[in-house]
Amino acid sequence: MKVAKFGGTSVASGTQIKKIKSIITSDPDRKIVVVSAPGKRFSGDSKITDLLIALGNAAFAHKPAGELRENIIDRFSAIAEELHLPAQIVQEIDETIEQILSSDEPDHTKMDALKSIGEDSSAKLVSTYLEMAGYQAKYMNPKDAGIIVSDEPGNAQILPESLSALASLREEEGIIVIPGFFGFTKDGQLMTFPRGGSDITGSIVAAGVQADLYENFTDVNSVYTVNPTIVQNPKEIRTLTYREMRELSYAGFSVFHDEALIPAFEAKIPVCIKNTGNPDAPGTMVVADKKPQEKCVVGIASDTGFASLYISKYLMNRELGIGRKLLQILEEENISFEHAPSGIDEMSVIFRDNQLTRGKEEAVIRRIKSELNPDTISIDYDFAMIMVVGEGMNNTIGIANKAAAAFSDANVNIEMINQGSSELSMMFGVKTDKLNQAIQSLYKTYFD
Amino acid sequence: MKVAKFGGTSVASGTQIKKIKSIITSDPDRKIVVVSAPGKRFSGDSKITDLLIALGNAAFAHKPAGELRENIIDRFSAIAEELHLPAQIVQEIDETIEQILSSDEPDHTKMDALKSIGEDSSAKLVSTYLEMAGYQAKYMNPKDAGIIVSDEPGNAQILPESLSALASLREEEGIIVIPGFFGFTKDGQLMTFPRGGSDITGSIVAAGVQADLYENFTDVNSVYTVNPTIVQNPKEIRTLTYREMRELSYAGFSVFHDEALIPAFEAKIPVCIKNTGNPDAPGTMVVADKKPQEKCVVGIASDTGFASLYISKYLMNRELGIGRKLLQILEEENISFEHAPSGIDEMSVIFRDNQLTRGKEEAVIRRIKSELNPDTISIDYDFAMIMVVGEGMNNTIGIANKAAAAFSDANVNIEMINQGSSELSMMFGVKTDKLNQAIQSLYKTYFD
């Protein structure tokens, strides 16, 4: 049994839903389908969920909503017409919106209900289309499916009891279509997940039914070895481990949110990332473990927006606790650090610079000066981090050598190297304006 | 004006003292001389200071001292005879020992007085020898010279007022010979420095008199680019900055204790390390700054005896403060850390393993498990650290490249890289049994 999840672009139009119908029905193992809300059909188009949120915000602020509601209904009508579905299905969506907006519930409850309409309608459209084409298929509400969540509107967390509740889905006949992005509390209250939450639904359902495979259909052929906006037509990754996926996701790989996959990872369900527009392409498999001979560099990730705080103090390494105190000051100022390379009389702390407003920067520097009395202190911005990822690479002689040579070839100075804790990544800090040339040179070294 | 300090081997015998006489008198700028206690004349010989300490320990424990006192006197007699000095000088040393041992002072006061006899007698022998050879020379007690220290027996610290007190030595006629290793409190109490303390005396005297040069005479021609026990006949370092010296000293360069030089460094007095046995060799200059074109790798230092504590925890990088808490546990267990490389879900802490007894290891692991709840925790021993040092190297493209290639050529896996805080060093962790081959390959890369 496979669980197939289709992202927003895969259900953005009737044409796309025709494609997913043929994907679903071409493999009898594809018994459970999870869908997102209709996404963008073209660059500049709106996502249904964004329109629904805007509608809610306007209504709760008692401001005019313009043609938001008409736009939403028009999108669903266009899909229904293209698929020759009965007009009643769209009329029911409009009635649901009316019902929510005119109810006496608190605003956050109404907002969660509004936001769920995108996925919920998507599932109804897809299941009806499959039924009308002669397949045994049915829409299933997350409450009936058994997706039980915490009471946190807009930020619901899956509760562990979902797993056993979902297991009974294995017994269902035909194809089941479940809307992503929301679940229900034990008291039956609808709650949405954080954004990107359809991946959470797909992942927990795959884990609950103990699927043989969780397929994640999106709009790219695979996960790429490097960001395609930096390197043209980069190689595709065939197989990734969960851990490699997590390291890559950390630094800018945005195919999907890695934390959404945790339920699938914990149940050791293999995940396949595929392209709705090109379903015959092999895609990228994400698995628990790889054969040793496959262990090498699999990808290069990068991210910008880092800053480096530097302090120096003569004989610092004799001062027990100074490194800890520096981290504690940052912690008390609510700054989470990424790395802390240290010399003998020096220490740097690398952190994401969006945590530091001008006022906070001054406060942090003032505290460090008065509490640690350093000889020098400075904060540098515009750092980018590059992560070279691959299982087993840190036990491979010559990997660091190749990386360092790539930076040298690209004429890029390495500002920071962090290696020694992770078994499957090496991290390099460079100046942001040197990032692209460094990445291109690393790509050439490992993949060309 | 130059201040010349002679180490233990340089005053170990009459023959050695003849050499230092010709060094002192060959340059009229060598106006102030600081001497250590007689050291070893040959491998297996005793240092006078060790004999004096053993004598004190035996006496205070009311145990028989064997022939310790005779051995001490014999050493001084041999020197005096070889230099044709009056026997009275040795008799006075013996009387001083007798006086100390029979006094009513507390043991720590007697011990400090006993320990000071080595340097004090050395200075008297040298000054008398210079005088008898027709030079204007005199012994000067540290109290008269102005070396004012804190009241910490065996661990005295120089007080800043020494600087102005010492300045008047500039007005003295002839050659002044000052014993190293001890000073006097404001109340006139004799206190010795920590071991190696003659360097402290030399350095503070050079700073106090604003010497043009502080010459540190020892038994090697220079500071070497790498440990000569690992690489045969390594290249000599001509010029080092203070900062380079400090980084090299940290990891195994034991020519002298870098902290002893702080007074000279602070006063920006250049330091020259020379060989008593080969005074015409240029030696190694230690200076405040170098010309930019001289900036490159100057030396490779290494040290063994490190351990690595590793913890991993899924989603660790979302947990504010976990890194700080780990360091705090170690701090509370009195373990000072050297480096803390971190991955996304992992963190390692490198520390000197002599801080960890079996019992403490268990306590640390127990606390980390219960307070941080990591997925995995482990401690690995037998790490060695290698430091490649040179001003400006971290802004030189290709330095990391060369280093990484050297490890790869030597077939040594790099367990850890720490670069990014210090401007003048890169640090590498390797397994101890791979240290020598890594160092040899690095030496070849940078110096051959």
Domain boundaries defined on chain B: 2-219, 299-447
What pLDDT, on a 0 to 100 scale, did the predictor assign at position B422?
74
User: Does position A123 have pLDDT exceeding 60, yes or no?
Assistant: yes
Where does the pLDDT of residue B251 fall: very low under 50, low under 70, confident under 90, or very high at 90 and above? low
Q: What is the pLDDT of residues A278-292, one digit of tens each?
A: 999 999 999 988 876
What pLDDT, on a 0 to 100 scale, did the predictor assign at position B293?
66
User: From the centroid of its chain, how far is CA A33?
Assistant: 19
Where does the pLDDT of residue A277 fall: very low under 50, low under 70, confident under 90, or very high at 90 and above? very high
User: Does position A253 have pLDDT exceeding 60, yes or no?
Assistant: no
**B395–A413 CB contact, under 8 Å:** yes
User: Does position B398 have pLDDT exceeding 80, yes or no?
Assistant: no
Query: Between B246, B323, B419, which is nearest A414 by CB?
Result: B419
Q: Min CA distance, B412 vs chain A (Å)?
A: 7
Query: Between A246, A339, A426, which is nearest B342 by CB?
Result: A339
Please give the backbone phi and psi of residue A413, each rounded to the nearest 5 degrees, phi first.
Answer: -80, 135
The DSSP annotation for B46-96 comes to PPHHHHHHHHHHHHHTT---TTHHHHHHHHHHHHHHHTT--THHHHHHHHH
User: Does position A252 have pLDDT exceeding 70, yes or no?
Assistant: no
User: Does position B292 have pLDDT exceeding 80, yes or no?
Assistant: no
Sign of CA dihedral B389, B394, B399, B401: positive
For chains A and B, CB pairs below 8 A equal 168
Quick check: A437 contacting B, CB < 8 Å?
no
Confirm if B125 and B79 have CB atoms less than 8 A apart: yes
Residue with tokens 């005479």: B217
Q: Strand pairing partners for B5?
A: B34, B216
Confirm if B394 and B426 have CB atoms less than 8 A apart: yes
Query: Between B348, B394, B400, which is nearest A404 by CB?
Result: B400
What pLDDT, on a 0 to 100 scale, did the predictor assign at position A259?
74
Q: What is the pLDDT of residues B14-55, one digit of tens each?
A: 999 999 999 999 999 999 999 999 999 998 999 999 999 999
- Which is it for strands A376-389 and A416-419: parallel, antiparallel or unpaired? unpaired
Quick check: B142 contacting A, CB < 8 Å?
no
Average confidence score pLDDT of chain B: 91
Q: Which of A41-50, A270-279, B390-399 has the lowest mean pLDDT?
A: B390-399
Rounded alpha-carbon distances, angstroms, from residue A435 to A228, A253, A326, A418: 14, 15, 29, 17
B343, closest residue in chain A (CA to CA): A422
The amino acid sitting at B355 is: Q
Query: Between B331, B344, B346, which is nearest A320 by CB?
Result: B331
Where does the pLDDT of residue A242 fall: very low under 50, low under 70, confident under 90, or very high at 90 and above? confident
User: Does position A186 have pLDDT exceeding 60, yes or no?
Assistant: yes
List CB contacts (< 8 A) between A398 and chain B: 408
Q: Most B CBs within 10 Å: which of A258, A328, A344, A427, as the mutation test of the B interface?
A: A344
User: Could you give the CA distance from residue A391 to residue B304 in angstroms, rounded to a whole number?
Assistant: 28
Q: Min CA distance, A32 vs chain B (Å)?
A: 29
Provide CATH code, domain B299-447: 3.30.2130.10
User: Does position A251 have pLDDT exceeding 80, yes or no?
Assistant: no
Mapped onto helix, strand or coil, the DSSP state of residue A269 is: coil
Quick check: A395 contacting B, CB < 8 Å?
yes
What pLDDT, on a 0 to 100 scale, did the predictor assign at position A293?
66
Where does the pLDDT of residue A419 fall: very low under 50, low under 70, confident under 90, or very high at 90 and above? confident
Q: Min CA distance, A185 vs chain B (Å)?
A: 25
**B341–A403 CB contact, under 8 Å:** no
Per-residue pLDDT averaged across A424-428, rounded? Answer: 87
CATH superfamily, region A2-219: Acetylglutamate kinase-like (3.40.1160.10)
List CB contacts (< 8 A) between B307 and chain A: none
Quick check: B425 contacting A, CB < 8 Å?
yes
User: Could you give the CA distance from residue B140 to residue B147 in angstroms, rounded to a whole number?
Assistant: 11
Quick check: A414 contacting B, CB < 8 Å?
yes
Q: Min CA distance, B445 vs chain A (Å)?
A: 13
User: Does position B256 have pLDDT exceeding 60, yes or no?
Assistant: no
Confirm if A142 and A176 have CB atoms less than 8 A apart: no
What pLDDT, on a 0 to 100 scale, did the predictor assign at position A441?
96
Q: Which of A260-274, B76-90, B332-346, B433-447 has the lowest mean pLDDT?
A: B332-346
Quick check: B346 contacting A, CB < 8 Å?
yes
Residue with tokens 């540290």: B142
List CB contacts (< 8 A) between B250 and chain A: 317, 344
B393, closest residue in chain A (CA to CA): A413
Q: What is the pLDDT of residues A132-144, one digit of tens each?
A: 999 999 999 999 9
> CB neighbours of B390 closer than 8 A, spacing ≥ 6?
B244, B295, B296, B297, B298, B299, B399, B424, B425
**Which tokens in the block code for residue A8?**
């927003």
What pLDDT, on a 0 to 100 scale, did the predictor assign at position B253?
55
Quick check: B320 contacting A, CB < 8 Å?
yes
Please give the backbone phi and psi of residue A83, each rounded to the nearest 5 degrees, phi first.
Answer: -95, 5
B248, closest residue in chain A (CA to CA): A344
Assembly ipTM = 0.73
**Which tokens in the block code for residue B72?**
């001490």
Quick check: A415 contacting B, CB < 8 Å?
yes
Query: Between B347, B407, B421, which is nearest A347 by CB?
Result: B421
**B422–A321 CB contact, under 8 Å:** no
Average confidence score pLDDT of chain A: 91
Q: According to the per-residue pLDDT averaged within each range, which of A173-182, A247-256, A265-274, A317-326 is highest?
A: A173-182
B430, closest residue in chain A (CA to CA): A420
Q: What is the pLDDT of residues A394-415, one digit of tens each?
A: 777 778 888 889 999 999 988 8
Residue with tokens 């800090």: A429
**B342–A418 CB contact, under 8 Å:** yes
Residue with tokens 């915490």: A150
User: Could you give the CA distance from residue B219 to residue B211 in angstroms, rounded to a whole number?
Assistant: 23
- How many residues comprise chain A? 448
The amino acid sitting at B307 is: A
Quick check: A398 contacting B, CB < 8 Å?
yes
List CB contacts (< 8 A) between A315 and chain B: 259
User: Does position B136 have pLDDT exceeding 60, yes or no?
Assistant: yes
User: Could you give the CA distance from residue B343 to residue A339 in angstroms, rounded to a whole number?
Assistant: 8
Q: Min CA distance, A438 vs chain B (Å)?
A: 12
Q: Which of B52-56, B121-125, B341-345 has the lowest mean pLDDT?
A: B341-345
Q: What is the pLDDT of residues B77-112, one digit of tens each?
A: 999 999 999 999 999 999 999 999 999 999 999 999
What pLDDT, on a 0 to 100 scale, did the predictor assign at position A254?
56
**B404–A408 CB contact, under 8 Å:** no
Residue with tokens 């160092």: B439
Quick check: A288 contacting B, CB < 8 Å?
no
- Which of residues 217 through 256 in chain A touch B, CB cutoff 8 A? 246-247, 250
**B421–A348 CB contact, under 8 Å:** yes
Quick check: A405 contacting B, CB < 8 Å?
yes
- Which is it for strands B284-287 and B271-275: parallel, antiparallel or unpaired? antiparallel
Where does the pLDDT of residue A151 fall: very low under 50, low under 70, confident under 90, or very high at 90 and above? very high
Quick check: B447 contacting A, CB < 8 Å?
no
**Which tokens in the block code for residue A206?**
């795959």
The amino acid sitting at B374 is: P
Quick check: A339 contacting B, CB < 8 Å?
yes
**B344–A418 CB contact, under 8 Å:** no
Rounded alpha-carbon distances, angstroms, from residue B48 to B55, B182, B193, B257: 11, 15, 16, 20
The amino acid sitting at B395 is: N
Per-residue pLDDT averaged across A382-386, rounded? Answer: 93
**Which tokens in the block code for residue B294?**
């001289």
